[in-house]
Amino acid sequence: MSRPFNFSAGPAVLPEEVLERAAAEMLDWHGSGMSVMEMSHRGKEFISIYEAAEADLRELLAVPKDFSILFMQGGGIAENAVVPLNLSRGESADFVVTGAWSERSQKEARKYCTVNVAASSADTGYTTLPDAASWQLSRGARYVHVCSNETVHGVEMHELPDLKALGSEAPLVADISSHMLSRPVDWSRVGLAFGGAQKNVGPAGVTLVFVRQELLGHALAHCPSAFDYKIVSDNQSMYNTPPTYGIYIAGLTFQWLKAQGGVGAIEQRNIAKANLLYDFIDSSDFYVSRVAKNCRSRMNIPFFLADEKLNESFLAQAKARGLLQLKGYKTLGGMRASLYNAMPLAGVEALVGHMRDFEQKHA
């Protein structure tokens, strides 16, 4: 029996092949007599899993040598504090506020440094992106924070900003939690990028940080050692016990992604999936997308029924057809379909089929 299609924003769908492989290897990883969960993180078995995962990730995203890749814990929300603890030097940072997540990031950073909100799209209800030319970047900011895919509001920067061209010398910090590995990254524009694994990579509990090595070594004195990027980097993410099982699953996902043709190939599929859903929404008066067309997320697609009284019945009928977790974020209401890498085109076709049938019944 085939599994239902799961549109959760996170923790989210994983490739079936990854889950099957993990199940097959659960009790005995490669003849070691151990589950990956039972292995010492310093043993040769786990070190080989870790090294393969790191190398595959580096290859998939073409991460340059002068970036460290850290496998940490704490999730994106912890990074909202860990980034200023490491990069702000207690001075100031610029924030571009484009939705719920960057809003939350700037609020947390205020505990550790001075925050300058360089731009905000709050006035449009976070349905647009403020034009980069209008950002009020400040002189001397230690970094500029963006969330390049706003998971709640469904707004995506289809290109990362070129801060140098905007007159800022500061490194760009990007929260890429919900579209990591959905498309290539232009590392020449990035100082640091972070994201939790549970959206597009693996189980909750692993946080990936990509950091330019020249930014290491300036943590505030009260930064916890386990969250000091330099200490984590110097210890190959094993200063403390890393989330070993999560890293193993992430590694299987990286292998799966390579077998799919890599990030460039999956990006093309992600574009096709998102277009299918947006085109259908735009062709109908029964469903509405509120996000401006130039910044619609390919990963997280909030949409609304013109008649909100039908929400519960839309969700119940979707579930009966094997379409799970479509309910919108609590503060926005409506629906949200997350189309991560592991969501096949067939899942989006099934969703559009349900939307069409539901509209015909109720319009």
Ligand X SMILES: *Cc1c(COP(=O)(O)O)cnc(C)c1O
Candidate segments 31-39, 172-180, 250-258, 273-281, binder of ligand X by CB under 6 A: 172-180
Q: Which residue, among 269, 200, 203, 189, has the nearest Cα to 57 in the 3D structure? A: 200
300-305, strands of its sheet edge to edge: 287-288, 300-305, 335-338
Is 101 a binding residue for ligand X by CB under 6 A? The answer is: yes
Q: How far is the CB of 178 from ligand X (least distance, A)?
A: 4
Question: Hey, which residues between 26 and 55 contact ligand X (CB under 6 A)?
Answer: none
Tell me the C-alpha distance between 104 and 115, whole Å.
12
Candidate segments 171-179, 232-240, 271-279, 334-342, binder of ligand X by CB under 6 A: 171-179
Q: Is 45 exposed, middle or buried (0-12, 13-18, 19+ CB in 10 A)?
A: middle
Sorted by sequence, the CB contacts under 8 Å of residue 211 that are 6+ apart come out as 67, 68, 70, 191, 192, 229, 233
Is 75 a binding residue for ligand X by CB under 6 A? The answer is: yes
3 state SS for 245-275: HHHHHHHHHHHHHHHCCHHHHHHHHHHHHHH
Please work out, in degrees rounded to the nearest 5, the angle formed at the alpha carbon of residue 240 by the alpha carbons of 237 and 241.
Answer: 90
Torsion of CA 248, 254, 255, 258, to 10 degrees: 180
Catalytic residue, chosen from 175, 230, 273, 327, is: 175
Asked about 101 being catalytic, the answer comes back as yes
Candidate segments 16-24, 137-145, 170-178, 330-338, binder of ligand X by CB under 6 A: 170-178
Asked about 135 being catalytic, the answer comes back as no
Q: How far is the CB of 336 from ligand X (least distance, A)?
A: 12
DSSP 8-state class, residue 296: B
Asked about 256 being catalytic, the answer comes back as no
Is 103 a binding residue for ligand X by CB under 6 A? The answer is: no
Is 338 a binding residue for ligand X by CB under 6 A? The answer is: no
| Count of residues engaged in binding ligand X, rule: CB under 6 A | 12
Tell me the C-alpha distance between 54 and 247, whole Å.
9
Tell me the C-alpha distance between 142 and 62, whole Å.
26
Give 75 or 161: the residue with its C-beta nearer to ligand X: 75
Q: How far is the CB of 224 from ligand X (least distance, A)?
A: 16
Is 220 a binding residue for ligand X by CB under 6 A? The answer is: no
First to last CA, the chain: 33
Is 177 a binding residue for ligand X by CB under 6 A? The answer is: yes
Question: Hey, which residues between 118 and 147 contact ligand X (CB under 6 A)?
Answer: 147
Give 201 or 305: the residue with its C-beta nearer to ligand X: 201
Candidate segments 58-66, 71-79, 229-237, 330-338, binder of ligand X by CB under 6 A: 71-79
Summarize as ranges the residues that interact with ligand X (CB under 6 A). Answer: 10, 75-77, 101, 147, 151, 175, 177-178, 196, 199
What are the catalytic residues? 101, 175, 199
